[in-house]
Amino acid sequence: MEKPTEKPLTKNETMKAEKPDLSGTIRETLANPEADRFSGDDEQFIKFHGIYQQDDRDKRKTGKEYSVMVRTRQTGGIVPAAQYLVYDELSGRFANGTLRITSRQTFQFHGVAQRGIGSLIKSINDALSSTLATCGDVNRNVTAPSNPPIDAITQAVEDDAFTLTRALLPKTTAYHSIWVDGVQVDLGLGEKIAKARASVDQTNPYLPPPADHDDSGAPVDKLYGKTYRPRKFKTGFAIPPNNDVDIFTNDMGYVAVIEGGKLVGYNLLVGGGLGTSHGNKATYPRLADVIGFITREQVVTVGEAVIRIHRDWGDRTDRKHARIKYVLQEKGVEWFRAELAKELGAPLPAAKPFLFKGQGDAFGWTKQTDGNWFLGLFIETGRVKDAGTYQLKTALRKIAEQFGPVYRLTATQNLILSDIKEADKAAIEKLLHDHGCGIVFNPGLVKGRGMACPALPTCGLSLAESERVFPAILGKIEDAQDAAGFGGEELVVRMTGCPNGCARPYNAEIGFVGKAPGKYNLMLGGNREGTRLARLFKESVPADEIPVVIGALFNQYAKERTAGQAFGDWVDGAAVWPVAAPQA
């Protein structure tokens, strides 16, 4: 029963309804050797296949140079070493030579030329991974704690995340018919692909379940229907006390409940989301509500029920108002609980108490309970690259070839290498040092907690730089910390090139949101636990004034803070906020 509406549906809704298998004219464009880009509706359809049309914004003055970005799916950020080696090879052959770890634990390939897309996506699937539904109006990559499953609880959460991933994949067969069956290439990667397949026991964990059929026998997707979600949908799993996945920013979150040393179920969260538009007060960031308690057996049924509520009640007349967070905000949490009870046949029991104590990744070596080790590595802005004497990409390739750890992408754009034998530790450490990567072991608690989105030159929506200027700005913030006498202390700083919020600046202690070239809205007062939103402190701060504004706040914080008080907690309650002008 879709929400009644007087307003016309968006163009995307009509487009999906007319071509529910999401194939558009992608096949035809791929077959046309003259085509240098996807156009028209296909620019939207390709998103459901994990592809974004982009152009190099540095080159716009001399004309548009098209390429695409391709995003993989990696539940919980897990990438076996053999699969990583395939990605490493593909990024050199078909993309700009880098791999980008994202804020949702996936890899992105940037700068892929039109003629390379087929080979790239076919090879990703041959290596038993996927790009299906990593973008588009569907459930995106499912995030989960990136620390290795060193006990039964973390393993169980990882298993549940994979089960839910598969259940919520769209059942269209067009993806496989276009990219897997429809592309014939021999890239000479036979041995690498064979090893990648063996590393996941020859089974692709991202194969959607078989399509349902209607009365006439035609394939249908009963969960998504013909028009899929009104908008993107994001799901994560967290294990308190670590909120490393920023669970409250997801449309749907599962917070592990552990009793008597066992995972007994999850607290369900619904209604988080961060994207906003400058000047549009109807859009806002929102943290999810706690809905109730579910058992492990209910993970899929409840997830599907929440998806159906979004399907039926999400606003299909305005894409800026279509996320489930607006349904929760406007109809209220009690309404949502009642609607969910109707779907499930009974209300959920109340949520169990839980507490997050922090987020962020552990760097350096940690011993696993099985005697092996894992190594947390700082990856600046998530970009795996070789640049001058910093040969990170080469080092990570050699580590995968020689030692074969599991690669785990974190939701703060860092990397964990797990299941490393005691005997290999010294050699791995030497290899990273020999490749100019000493920084990865110990970045400190500002760089290590920081995040920036890609923005320019690839993102078509960016209003200001982010990834390319963030390291320098963060360096100045560290200098300001030193000058105020609390250098090296933990601080969560995040930056985005526009208000969409891809690096989650809206719940950082300090967030920079691109407003115009060289100008950022300064958001302050989120917390390290990821449970409080930051607020707008100052609009359109020029980049070169950031150290001055932040420096003054740091000096005051150093004087006024109570023992152990974090900057975000202090600034949230400090008398530093601009006073609103009295109403006329």
Instruction: List the single partner that 498 binds among ligand SRM, ligand SF4, none, CB under 5 to 8 Å by kind.
Output: ligand SF4
**Of all helices (H) and strands (E), which one includes residue 519?**
strand 519-524
d(CA 244, CA 360): 5
Closest CA to 171 of 214, 202, 200, 201: 214
Instruction: List the single partner that 497 binds among ligand SRM, ligand SF4, none, CB under 5 to 8 Å by kind.
Output: ligand SF4
Helix axis angle, 425-434 to 392-403, nearest 10°: 160
Q: Which residues contact 7 (CB under 8 A, 6 or more apart)?
A: 317, 318
Query: Using CB under 6 A, which of the segments 39-47, 94-102, 383-391, 491-499 binds ligand SF4?
Result: 491-499
Task: Using CB under 6 A, pick the residue from 196, 428, 432, 502 that binds ligand SF4.
Answer: 502
- Cβ 449 vs Cβ 519: under 8 Å: no
Task: Using CB under 6 A, pick the residue from 91, 235, 500, 521 that binds ligand SF4.
Answer: 500
- Nearest 5 degrees, angle CA 270-CA 244-CA 153? 85
- Give the residue with the Cβ less far from ligand SRM, 75 or 458: 458
In the complex, minimum distance from the CB of residue 502 to ligand SF4, in angstroms, rounded to a whole number: 3
- Count of alpha carbons within 13 Å of 332, Cβ hemisphere only? 3
Helix axis angle, 81-94 to 392-403, nearest 10°: 140
- Give the residue with the Cβ less far from ligand SRM, 232 or 310: 232
Binding mask 426-455 for ligand SF4 (x = CB under 6 A): ---------------------------xxx
- Give the residue with the Cβ less far from ligand SF4, 80 or 454: 454
d(CA 319, CA 479): 41
Beta bridge partners of 256: 266
Query: Using CB under 6 A, which of the segments 95-103, 170-178, 293-301, 458-466 binds ligand SF4?
Result: 458-466
Residues in the site for ligand SRM, rule: CB under 6 A?
Answer: 52, 69, 71, 102-104, 106, 108, 134, 140-141, 232, 234, 249, 273-275, 323, 382, 413, 453-454, 458-461, 500-504
d(CA 550, CA 571): 11
Closest CB to ligand SRM: residue number: 275
Q: Which residues are catalytic?
A: 71, 140, 232, 234, 453, 459, 498, 502
- Give the residue with the Cβ less far from ligand SRM, 273 or 448: 273
- Give the residue with the Cβ less far from ligand SF4, 60 or 115: 60
Instruction: List the single partner that 414 binds among ligand SF4, ligand SRM, none, CB under 5 to 8 Å by kind.
Output: none
Name the token pair of 272.
Answer: 């988080």
d(CA 148, CA 415): 11
d(CA 546, CA 12): 39
Instruction: By CB under 6 A, tell whether 462 contacts ligand SF4.
Output: yes
Place of tokens 């716009």: 60
Instruction: By CB under 6 A, tell whether 114 contacts ligand SF4.
Output: no
What residues make contact with ligand SF4 under the rule CB under 6 A? 453-455, 459, 461-462, 466, 496-498, 500-502
